[in-house]
Structure 1
Amino acid sequence: MNDSNNSSTSTSDVKLNSLKAWILAARPKTLTGAAVPVMIGLALAYRDAQHYFGAPFDWTAACLCLLFAMAMQIDANFINDFFDYVKGTDDRETRLGPERACTQGWVTPNAMKHAIAITTCASCFIGLPLIVYGGLEMILIGILCVLFCFLYTTHLSYIGMGDVLVLVFFGIVPVSITYYVQLHTFTPEVLIASVACGIVIDALLLVNNFRDRDTDRVAGKQTLVLKIGEKATIRLYLAVGIVPCFMGTIFIAYGHWLASVLPLLYLVLHVFTWRKMKRIWKGRQLNECLGATARNIFIYGLTVTLGILLS
């Protein structure tokens, strides 16, 4: 996933391989996107553990899920930074989005390779104890997360599969597996909530690729935006806000109406961002929509989580 950092970040005071350089390379604003699906999965598990299963909620497992998601997000950011630099996708002169560490010269490519190895191993180390809570199947989940973390940047994002991966790895997998680790089962509510979460988060990738459509075309990166066209992308962006709120009506069937009503705040903000995206249409100014979309996603996660816990 790409982030929403301001593209005008000052580079004059960023020293090579410095702490500031690594913080910028990690793209801390993207961590909210990693946290949202885990928040929703934990809220569902916490509520069901108490009200339906009579099982204890394990806070250690909850923290491990959250830490694993964040570590994998940082790993994905480093991988994206390095491989886009190697492929020449990130051109310092033509880039419209947030600046990248290797391209800007904040971090050397060799140092980034070592960082990728470290964050990949750290993610595995954090996730390994989840075997105790979720069983040996957690090994397969971990392998798939790491594998597709690399495949996204190196191959799948170039053939229009990025949106599918967002749906799976920012929706279905983190929400469902976070719930499974606690209760060793799934429910229809959890599965629908996980798909809705993935659709919401895909809005970030849509606006990112909409902004970069001209440079992606030159680079041979066939994103979904280029496949369906500009006008269809604008309509799709609106839809990925409306559809999850409609799917959220399943919470009413489980007696948790607040989880269906509170996210309407997110929908209002999403519509405002959609209108702004239509008005700007092109260029660096679309980074404003990228930032607004990241904010909207966090508000969606927060309102769903609160709705589940307060209902």
Structure 2
Amino acid sequence: MQSFTHMDHRPPARRDWRVFWRLTRPHTLTAAFVPVCVGTVLALGETSIDWLLFAAMMIASLLIQAATNMFNEYYDYQRGLDSPESVGIGGAIVRDGLKPKTVLALAFGCLGLAMLIGIYICAESSWWLAVVGTICMAAGYFYTGGPVPIAYTPFGELAAGFFMGFVIILISFFIQTGYISGGAVLTAIPIAILVGAILLANNIRDLDGDREKGRKTLAILIGRDWAIRLLAAMFAVAFLWTAALAVFQIVPFWALLALLSIPKAIAATRGFIGKIKPIEMMPAMKATAQTNTQFGFLLAAGLLIAHWL
């Protein structure tokens, strides 16, 4: 009955392309393309790159991330969590009037396309990736779908960092090289942390509303102040880990270019301090995603420079 009540209050549907673009929540797509870039550049130090495989992996990862966001949009609406005033959502249903079933169909359509691309990737590398890819897509669905959504538990950051950061980097590396190296595993860790930080920032912003709706995110369990401290600690660990990788020559010295993203991480952390309203925390949320983007691209650039030299 709840969904019918929402249906009655939806505005007239709009079909502008910008509606569908917002539905993908483009500010979160950094969590998809950064790991693919880093994993591929890491592979460049081991072998020549198959750019068609790189493109396929990039598109598949973006489709899975977009599908995850659409499932989020659909299931949060079905559970009565989204309203026209909600901050940080695509708003395709509550603001733009798209039918919930349309959003759900688009989500499954994105996963279907990702699966088709995945068949090509498996054919060119290993069919074991079909198992890994299926698990990643299932994680995207169960993030907000299913009886106990991951997003409603304290494990959202861990799941996001592991699947969209760590695993994607290693798959991107594996499809180029045919194996997984210890260096790739260790280098994937700071990216995984920063992807998890994006979700933590999102949960800090939505803390009050999530608590009212019965969610039990990590930010709710430890409180706003400790969640902000945890965010700062995650940034610090990611940077210190990268510095240690360079000191122990697991990555070249040029990888330290990633540390140039520290000011953005500081801005992201400070942006949450003393803020209560979600709209006030949007710049900090954006800065967190930008930290991941800057860190990832600077790390990739450093690895490329070291390769060319």
Tell me the TM-score normalised to structure 1 length.
0.88
- Tell me the SS of whatever aligns to 1:78: helix
1:114 aligns with 2:109: no
Cα distance in 2 for residues equivalent to 1:48 and 1:156:
36
* Match for residue 267 of structure 2 among 268, 272, 291: 272
Whichever residue aligns with residue 199 of structure 1, its letter is I
Greater shift, 267-276 or 209-218, is seen at: 267-276
2:153 to 142, 155, 159: 159
Letter in 2 for 1:169: F
By how many angstroms is 1:255 displaced?
5.6
Letter in 2 for 1:87: R
Q: 1:104 aligns with which of 83, 90, 95?
A: 95
In the alignment, does 2:252 pair up with 1:256? yes
- Correspondence 1:77-226 to 2 at 5 A: 77-93=69-85, 95-154=86-145, 155-226=149-220
Following superposition, the deviation at residue 234 of structure 1 comes to: 1.1
Provide the C-alpha distance between the structure 1 equivalents of 2:177 and 2:279, rounded to a whole number of angstroms.
45
Show CA shifts across 1:79-123 (max 9, x none): 111111111111334x23344211224311121122122111111
**Counterpart secondary structure, 1:263:** helix
For residues 255 and 176 of structure 1, the distance between their equivalents in structure 2, rounded to whole angstroms, comes to 16
On the 8 A contact 1:16/1:108 being kept in 2, the answer is no
Aligned position for 2:22: 24
* Deviations 1:257-310, CA, capped at 9 Å, x for gaps: 110x21111122201221222143543110011111122211001110011111
Matched residue type, 1:283? P
- Paired letter, 2:112: C
**Distance change (3 Å), C-alpha of 1:97 and 1:28:** closer
* Conserved 8 A contact 1:22-1:107: no
SS in 2 for 1:48: coil
Alignment partners' CA distance in 2, 1:170 and 1:266 = 20
Runs of 4+ in 1 over 6 A off after TM superposition: none
**1:290 match:** 285
Q: Measured at CA, do residues 59 and 99 of structure 1 come closer, stay the same or move farther in structure 2, by a change above 3 Å?
A: closer
Q: Alpha-carbon deviation of 1:145?
A: 1.4
Is the 8 Å Cα contact of residues 190 and 238 (structure 2) preserved in structure 1? yes
Gaps of 5+ in 1: 1-11, 50-55
Matches of 1:212 and 1:303 in 2, distance apart?
30
Specify which of 52, 71, 76 is matched with residue 60 of structure 1.
52
User: Which deviates more, 127-136 or 250-259?
Assistant: 250-259
Aligned residues: 292
Return 5+ residue gaps in structure 2 as ranges: 1-10
The residue aligned with 2:299 is 304
TM-score, length-normalised on structure 2? 0.89
State the one-letter code of the partner of 2:194: V
Could you tell me the percent identity over the aligned residues?
Answer: 24
Alpha carbon RMSD of aligned pairs, Å? 1.9
| 1:169-195 Cα deviation digits (max 9, x unpaired) | 122110011101111111221111112
